Amino acid sequence: MSAEPTVEGLAQELSTYLDTNRINQVRRAYYYAEQAHEGQMRKSGDRYITHPLAVARILAELKLDHQSLMAAMLHDVIEDTGIPKDALAEQFGEDVAELVDGVSKLTQIEFRSRAEAQAENFQKMTLAMARDIRVILVKLADRLHNMRTLGPMPYEKRQRIATETLDIYAPIANRLGMHSVCTELEDLGFSSLYPMRAKYISKAVNKLRGSHREIIEEIRGKLQEKLEERGLPGRILGREKHLNSIYNKMKFKHKSFHEIMDVYAFRIITDTEDDCYRILGAVHSLYKPLPGRFKDYIAMPKANGYQSLHTTLFGMHVNIEIQIRTEEMEHIANNGIAAHWMYKNEPSNVTSVNQARVDRWVKGLMEMRERADDSLEFIEHVKVDLFPDEIYVFTPKGRIMELPSGATPVDFAYAIHTDIGNAAVACRINRNLGSLSQPLQSGQTVEIITAPGARPNPAWLSFVVTGKARSSIRHVLKTQKRAESLELGRTLLKKSLKGFGAKLSEISEGQKQAVVNHNQVNSFDDLISDIGLGNRMAYLVARQLVNGAEGAEIASAEAERPTDRSPVTIRGTEGLLVKFASCCKPIPGDPVVGVMDSGNGMVIHSDTCSRLPEDDEGRARLTHLKWAKDITDEFSVELRVELERQRGVIAELANAVAMADGNIERISVEDQNAKFGIVSLVVHVNGRKHLARVMRRIRNIRAVTHINRVRH
């Protein structure tokens, strides 16, 4: 058995980038932890201290700062040994104590398989990351070592930890640009969850690699020759395909194993950005590039800071994938956000940009957290943001915005600012008016047109893809629904009270409170809101308010029925909680009644609608409505037109509607023979008088034999 790793071995490694004073601080943290964990063992039979030491080694490979390494040594001290945070702060300073506290809070929140608990924990993780991103780096290293030593754990625990690693930790490592940590976590997680599949793929990869060795060497030789011929510096590395990514491509992209493995992948690492583009020219002169497969992530880095040139070439009867990047880009591709600390002493442009991206992402998470009503909703938003395939679009001023693929102009609007998203009414894509729901393509310039007082449309939720857009829209709609349910509920309650000869303003706080307690709600507003949503009946609440909460229940519902028949006025623009029935499509001027629909407010029907209840009990529950005087909004009406078939008659029909200032929403020919046809028209009008004008115009067309309004 190999000798147990020691703190001296670690100190040796640290001496390549830390000064003696800082290395000694790390050493001190090690001895402190060793003492604290004295007598504790791991499942594998090793002393417990081997784990914190291994975590610190992983961070040392990433060249992290001394405080992160100290936190790695001490990360289980608070939780496992009962030493309080204050004691650590006294010994090692406030920063280290905060980091340790952050990591142990993340450790306590082991993600249960129950989605609710998992989501709660994810929120805590976001908070910890927002305070100091290094917390998550220590946690990722801790998770990586746990995954490497998962063997002795019981089966259930192994499954849970592996699932959580693939669901939460690997995507976070990817989002922070830490490619090497991410792929190792994915492969370890995959091997734990599917040991047989992993073994099978691994065997197949090794077998294939053996038979392909000659081709790989030949391609590498030709690339090397070409670089030397042009005097370009660059080392050429072969790229391994990872088990998890092979499996995912086979599963989700339905590719065969040989299709995936028949691509030869190389990485060329060079000195400067300029060399990257020269090398690109050199390899394109050697083999033909495949059209549409070239990506320039140097000019437009990925959201996690990754930069590289990607091209796919066709040569020697196979596809050759090549990534070209500088040493610094290579370092950032592998270590991502962790690279930020290594370059602390000589700030580099790339890392500060990278850091800004991560800060922006974490800030976005915090905003979503504040808006989400519950943690499950939050985690649903975040999962979208953790798996982005980016597209890049431009603002009119030329700023680049990264969005997940499939993003729409609404996502773009919210990415700029929540207020712009909330007030968006239209957009221009490459200077032409576009639809708010169409998916954007990389390279487009998008301009959002806003209008004061505009509100998000509930339909947007069916096509937006970013968490920020979804959570912002839901937040506004919830607030709006609450305001509208209160207004509608209050109107209905006042009307019912009037039937009992009472007024809402005359009812004492005590009476209200008694009714609130009786109905087991939190406040009187909640009760009114429930009436507006159709979850409670206004007259029952009114009766409780008038007769006292308890007494009202005893009296029979019918005996106490209020007699007030005065109608409630509607404008037709009430918003989310007043909807028009699609069966009878009522318009201003039609006699109408309201039916309360549980949870969704009031649906307005024409009072002759066949879907209304027939019995007295049902009839008594309807709300009598009247239209406001000055309605200018448009409403849909369906018309059925019977006509003789002639050339151009449909155009004549459309023209007649336009002449009467109507708007056609839909026109379709229902039924026809050689002589006659029936046309179904859906027209927008602003009331009965307007409708009469439209129908008169249509009747005047010579070919029309009959016209009537359709009420289902």
Other C-beta atoms closer than 10 Å to the C-beta of 129 total: 23
Q: Look at residue 475 and give its three-state secondary structure.
A: helix
Q: Which residue has the tokens 């809101």?
A: 529
Distance CA 703, CA 653 (A): 10
595 forms bridges with which residues in the sheet? 603
CA angle 21, 26, 30 (to 5 degrees): 140
* Catalytic member of 13, 34, 46, 79: 79
Other C-beta atoms closer than 10 Å to the C-beta of 598 total: 10
Q: Which of 264, 272, 267, 265 has its CA nearest to residue 232?
A: 272
Distance CA 469, CA 528 (A): 30
**HSE-CB of 166 using CA atoms within 13 angstroms:** 18
> Rounded to a whole number, what is the distance in angstroms from the first to the last CA of the chain?
83
Which structure tokens are listed for 638?
């369906």
Judge whether 564 and 620 are in contact, CB under 8 Å: no
Q: Is 101 known to be catalytic? A: no
Which structure tokens are listed for 454?
């505009």
Which structure tokens are listed for 148?
């490497």
Q: Is 271 known to be catalytic? A: no
Q: Look at residue 639 and give its three-state secondary structure.
A: strand
| Amino acid code (one letter) for 392 | Y
Distance CA 556, CA 548 (A): 14
Judge whether 482 and 532 are in contact, CB under 8 Å: no
* Catalytic member of 80, 95, 296, 525: 80
Q: Which of 450, 403, 442, 390 has its CA nearest to residue 425?
A: 450
Judge whether 282 and 296 are in contact, CB under 8 Å: no
Distance CA 542, CA 374 (A): 33
Element (H, E) at 377: helix 375-386
**DSSP string covering 646-661, please?**
-TTHHHHHHHHHHHTT
Question: Would you give the DSSP letter of residue 228?
Answer: H
Judge whether 582 and 576 are in contact, CB under 8 Å: no
Q: Is 51 exposed, middle or buried (0-12, 13-18, 19+ CB in 10 A)?
A: buried
Which structure tokens are listed for 86?
């204050």
Distance CA 215, CA 211 (A): 9
3-state helix, strand, coil in the chain (%, to 5): 55, 15, 30
Element (H, E) at 238: strand 235-238
Q: Which of 26, 76, 83, 35 has its CA nearest to residue 56?
A: 26
Distance CA 484, CA 527 (A): 14
Distance CA 114, CA 111 (A): 8
Q: Which residue has the tokens 């943690």?
A: 375
Q: Which of 604, 616, 608 has its CA nearest to residue 577?
A: 604
Catalytic residues: 79-80
